[in-house]
Amino acid sequence: MKNYYNYYMDKPCLFRIQKLKSITIFYFLLIQTINIFACTGGTSNGSLSLTSSYQTRSVKNGEYYTLNVTACNTYFFSFCGNGGTATWDTELTLLDAAGSTQLSYSDDACGMQSSITWTASYTGTARILISQYSCNHDQLSTATLAYKVTPKTGSYCITDNASYILSGGKTCVQLTPEVNDNKGCAWNDTKVNFNADFSVSMDFYFGNNINGADGSTIVFQPISPTVCGTTGGELGTGGLSNAVVVEFDTYDNDFPTHAVDIAADHIAIDTDGSLLNSTHAAGPIAALASNASIDDGFTHTVEIRWKKATNTMSVYFDGTMRLSLSQDFVTTKFGGVSQVYWGATASTGGLNNQQYFCPSTPIVLPTQLISFKTECVEQNKVFYWDITHEENIDYYILEKTIDGQSYQLIDEVQSTQSATLKTYSLIDNTSNERTYYRLKMIDKNGNYTSTNLISGASCKNKSENLVDYYSLNNQQLTIKNTGEELSYKLISTTGQLILEKNIGENTKESIVIPSLNEGIYFLQFTNKSGNLTENKRVFHSIN
């Protein structure tokens, strides 16, 4: 029988009424039990090799094709244009390698034809099955299938309505446009470890309409790099029961009772898979102490800090600690998994706002900090800073990062409350790889300021270094090569070639690259034989 649930949802309204008027009662009984009607079975007819441009292939009803998939890449299969076409009522089903678990399904995406867009949640193989309406594989009808893959770009696996945008010279992730009933999720390509101290910081734009909706979140979850929850007041996280959600809610969902929300735009921590109930694990509390709206057309710095010793999560908003919760999430929420995915989600409903986030911009430092620098002492990276008038500073934290958003705590040191010049130092002997560092100063009220990122040099033995030094700062690339002649490329996270050049033996050079946006880039070195010898992440900061 026909899948009337999908059929009803996909057909134009007038056609729905005509097609369903004789089975209206039966339909409403069915809708309670039918979710998605997918086809299985079929006969193998080889494999598909997908590229980033649409290709086409003649296919038959009842055939399936195997393909290799990579997590976070997005795959497209269509009889609806881009060279795809069919004259009969098609159905497409994307299945796992065994042909049993449905990954995606489409019926009547355009008239009687089908189209699938699917972001892979794993790396492995899958199969695309071509069927005639009602999974009828008896008719040997032919059609032309169009297909392509869009590789993951940037540092995030993005799903649904999320996309990359440029804002203020930075590559940012837009979670929702100013469109009703949208949602977007973005998961970073590095995990955080709840068995160690860490922090995550981002600049959020919650929109410019104080009467808009609905808000954004920062989420930690062990489920998948492509999972996304429900829309509206659930902020893209509804149903993620294994997740720890820090919500930044810009809409009052239950005026005037306020059993769940408060009148002010607020922060809460949720652990039960639903933001629309009264069982917040912590909060709600106004995001700003003034109760002002946060969908005010400005960006706001958000930081989540985790302290393993006390299993405490603290939420900072514009440098001020607003909310905390102590709980062993590894045991209570993550099923014993300590390294989990992290990212951001947002949604709109009957109202909307543009919502996006960018790498965090450091808060302006007090003039008391004179310098912050690093050097190698033997094979250790040593960090020094000079400061005056630190009477209000409680302690300092040294953190490192590879992407400018997820930070690992290296060490911390108490302030001596000196009123004169004081020099501090800390050592990072956790890794000899090149990473980026910042210094945070926490005052007695728990508020903080932080420095710009600085590059920590590789402190390996000289004989181990291919390139002795490289940095990318203020649109200037600097490389010091103490080895053989090399060629190098600077490539953006979207695959754009920014620069390609040779550098001679025992040479140091600096190259200005105008209009280079702040963010992550890749620096690839190749030797005389044409072999790729190093592929390094480089964080470009604009001071």
* pLDDT reported for residue 189: 80
Q: Which CATH number fits domain 462-540: 3.10.180.10, 2.60.40.10, 2.40.110.10, 2.60.40.3080?
A: 2.60.40.3080
Query: Mean per-residue pLDDT for 107-128?
Result: 91
What is the distance, to the nearest Å, from the Cα of residue 35 to the centroid of all Cα atoms in its chain? 28
pLDDT confidence of residue 389: 73
Residue with the larger pLDDT of the pair 470 and 307 = 307
- pLDDT at site 22: 31
Return the domain boundaries, the chain.
Answer: 43-150, 156-359, 369-456, 462-540
Look up residue 455 and give its two tokens: 């590059």
Kindly state the average pLDDT of the residues 31-36: 35
Beta-bridge partner residues of 64: 44, 129
For domain 156-359, the CATH architecture is Sandwich (2.60)
Asked whether the domain spanning 156-359 has the same topology as the one spanning 43-150, the reply is yes
Residue 543 pLDDT exceeds 70? no
CB atoms within 10 A of CB 16: 16
Quote the pLDDT of residue 261: 84
Q: Is the peptide bond before 318 cis (omega within 30 degrees of 0)?
A: no
Residue 119 clears pLDDT 80, i.e. is over it: yes
Higher pLDDT, 41 or 472: 41
- Give me the percent of the chain exceeding a pLDDT of 70: 87
Buried b or exposed e, range 345-373, using 16+ CB within 10 angstroms: bbbbbebbbbbbbbbbbbbeeeebbeebe
Output the pLDDT for position 461. 53
What is residue 364's predicted lDDT score, i.e. its pLDDT? 43
pLDDT of residue 492: 81
Distance in angstroms (rounded) separating the CA atoms of residues 447 and 443: 5
Average pLDDT over residues 22-50: 61
Better-predicted residue by pLDDT, 485 or 62: 62
396, β-bridge pairs: 413, 441
Q: How far is CA 297 from CA 204, 285, 529, in A?
A: 10, 21, 53
In this prediction, residue 20 carries a pLDDT of: 31
Lowest mean pLDDT among 29-33, 504-508, 522-526: 29-33
pTM (global) more than 0.85: no
Are residues 186 and 176 in contact, defined by beta-carbon separation less than 8 angstroms? Answer: no
CB 214 within 8 A of CB 347: yes
Residue 214 has pLDDT above 80, yes or no: yes
- What average pLDDT is seen over the chain? 83
Could you tell me the end-to-end alpha-carbon distance of the chain, in angstroms, rounded to an integer? 64
Q: Highest-confidence range of 21-35, 209-223, 423-437, 504-518, by mean pLDDT?
A: 209-223
The CATH number given to 43-150 is 2.60.120.380
Those residues whose C-beta lies under 8 Å from the C-beta of residue 330, and which sit 6 or more positions away, are 194, 195, 336, 337, 338
What pLDDT, on a 0 to 100 scale, did the predictor assign at position 164?
87
- State the average pLDDT over residues 146-159: 88
pLDDT confidence band for 377 (50 / 70 / 90): confident
Residue with tokens 């002997």, as numbered in its chain:
429
Mean pLDDT of 394-423: 84
Quote the pLDDT of residue 362.
Answer: 52
Tell me what percent of the residues of the chain surpass a pLDDT of 90. 41
pLDDT of residue 114 exceeding 90: yes
Q: How confident is the model at residue 415 (pLDDT cuts 50, 70, 90)?
A: confident
Query: pLDDT per residue over 295-306, tens digit each?
Result: 999 999 999 999
Higher local confidence (pLDDT), 165 or 482: 165
CA atoms 86, 88, 94, 97: torsion sign:
negative
Strand 454-456, strand 435-443: pairing: antiparallel
Task: Give tens-digit pLDDT for 327-369.
Answer: 999 999 999 999 999 999 999 999 999 999 987 755 444 447 7
- Is residue 55 classed exposed, middle or buried when 0-12, 13-18 and 19+ CB atoms within 10 A define those classes? middle
Classify 269 as helix, strand or coil: strand
User: What is the pLDDT, as a whole number, of residue 13?
Assistant: 32
With 50 as the cut, is the pLDDT of residue 527 above it?
Answer: yes
Give the highest mean pLDDT range of 19-23, 255-259, 464-468.
Answer: 255-259
* For the ranges 44-58, 155-169, 270-284, the one whose mean pLDDT is highest: 44-58
The arithmetic mean of pLDDT across residues 361-389, rounded, is 73
Instruction: Answer whether 245's CB lies under 8 Å from 227's CB.
Output: no
pLDDT tier at 54 (50, 70, 90 boundaries)?
very high
Domain at 369-456, CATH class: mainly beta
- Under 8 Å between Cβ of 224 and 174: no
